[in-house]
Amino acid sequence: MQSPLPPYALAAPTFPFPHLAGLAGRAPIGGAREVALACFVAARLAAECAPGVADPEDPARAARVAGAKGWLGTLTLPAELRGPLLRCVESTADGSARAVAQELTALAAAGASYLDNGSRAELDTLAATLRT
C-alpha cells in the first residue's frame, strides 16, 4: 500500500491526449509525426471549448488560434488533412462547442489513415464531450 502524499506534495498532473502525444513521439520524422502533432494542437484548442472549461469570451483564445494557425502553416501536411485541420482550429475561436465537435469529427475522419486507434478514440471522445 502506498502512503498518502505529504501535505506539501503536488498532485500528479494528468496529461490530456496521451495517445496523440505518444504517437507523435513514436512516429518517424515527417508526415505521420506532423499529422499527429497537428491533431494534438487542434485537440488542445478544442478541449478549451468544452462547457465549463474556459470563458467563451476570453480574448486570449483568438491569439492562441492565430498562433496555432501560423505554426500549423509551417508543417508539411497532406492536402486532404489541411482543410479539415484549419477549419477545426478556426472553429475554436468563437468557442461554439457543437461547431468544434463537428469539425473535430471531420478532422478525425480525414486523418484516420495516419492515426492509431487510441488517438482516434481520443478525438472521438472529445467530440462526443463537446456535443453534450
Q: What is the reported pLDDT for 40?
A: 98
Give the mean pLDDT of the chain: 92
CA end-to-end distance (rounded Å), the chain: 38
Write down all domains in the chain, each with its CATH number in brackets: 18-51+66-131 (1.20.120)
**CA–CA separation, 36 vs 19, rounded Å?**
10
Q: Sorting pLDDT into bands at 50, 70 and 90, what band is 1?
A: low
Is the whole model's pTM more than 0.85, yes or no? yes
φ/ψ (deg, to 5) at 66: -60, -45
Contact 130, 46 (CB under 8 A): yes
Provide mean pLDDT across the span 7-32: 90
pLDDT for residue 6 is more than 90: no
Residue 124 grid cell = 472521438
